[in-house]
A = this chain, B = another copy of it.
Amino acid sequence: MNNHKINQINTYLTQLQQNIASTLSRLDGKKDFVQDNYNDQHGNTSCTWVIENGAVFEKGAVNFSHIHGKNLPKSATAKRPELAGKSFQVLGISLIMHPVNPFVPTTHMNVRFFCTDAVGDDTPTWWFGGGYDLTPYYGFIDDCRHWHQTAKNACEPFGTDVYSRFKKWCDDYFYIKHRQEPRGIGGLFFDDLNDWPFERCFEFMQAIGDSFLPAYTPIVEQRKTHDYQQQHKDFQCYRRGRYAEFNLVYDRGTLFGLQHGGRIESILSSLPPQVTWRYNWQPETGSEEEALYKTFLLVKDWV
């Protein structure tokens, strides 16, 4: 992979990080993202930007990293076991926002580029990955439609089946197997993307990255002043347990970070600020909490 292409991706991602952070901190109105930026002599960069105890966001992170590795871990390439052990570069942004208000959904977004370095006769190999998904505590059908419609619009120029394929991949990926529950209402997920030419794949990653704020911020605007009681906060903290379970047991990015020995506080900045685990808790029949399970935590077509 030539340096010009990597620089292009680098430039796009660092601008996207800047844009997302400034928009979300404006939306918060109280707190800014605190920046922890690191560079080392091997060309590795890690920019962990975290907001805590904001008016709208209880905790959130939008992290950029550009890592050079000597030994591609298996978790990075489930589909390409033959690449495990190769030297590689990965550039990406990973975001998770945990709102204060239980009526505002948690969200996650990620866009990333992997390439392995050529060694001997090997052909360099690259691929893009990414997506975003939404995890409401108290759902609104309009919000889910808006979320998925925005995702669909972003995919449309790349083929009529792209949204449905990557929507399904998202449903499959963000599934908490041991709970037999989706993590939320889904969105998009793609990985190992290189079946279009490089430029086209890069454009697709940009389309996904650029459509994140238009997908999420109108929902935050709409719900951030919704009245809530302790009962709603309790349910949010309880449901955040599922998020922690997913990230620590299944999430490929987290496992990659743990295996690769990355900066732990950056990798685990995704974990929720306050979580409760209650034994065998069940929502009451007919409650707002039960509605999450019955209406929203189902694999379905939202648009």
Is the beta-carbon distance between B258 and A248 smaller than 8 angstroms?
no
Query: How often does this chain occur in the complex, in copies?
Result: 2
Q: A279's contact among B52, B177, B280, by CB below 8 Å, is which?
A: B52
A83 within 8 A of B: no
Distance in Å: Cβ of A273 to nearest Cβ of chain B:
6
Is the beta-carbon distance between A274 and B275 smaller than 8 angstroms?
yes
Complexed CA–CA distance, A267 and B275 (Å): 18
Is the beta-carbon distance between B271 and A241 smaller than 8 angstroms?
yes
**Closest partner residue, chain B, to A274 (CB atom):** B276
A4 within 8 A of B: no
A130 within 8 A of B: no
Q: A248's contact among B61, B245, B273, B278, by CB below 8 Å, is which?
A: B245
Complexed CA–CA distance, A268 and B276 (Å): 12
Is the beta-carbon distance between A258 and B178 smaller than 8 angstroms?
yes
Instruction: Give chain A's interface residues, CB within 8 Å of chain B.
Output: 36, 48, 50, 52, 59, 61, 177-179, 237, 241, 244-245, 248-249, 258, 261, 264-265, 267-269, 271-280
A-B contact pairs, 6 of them (CB 8 A): A36-B280, A59-B277, A179-B264, A245-B268, A249-B258, A272-B277
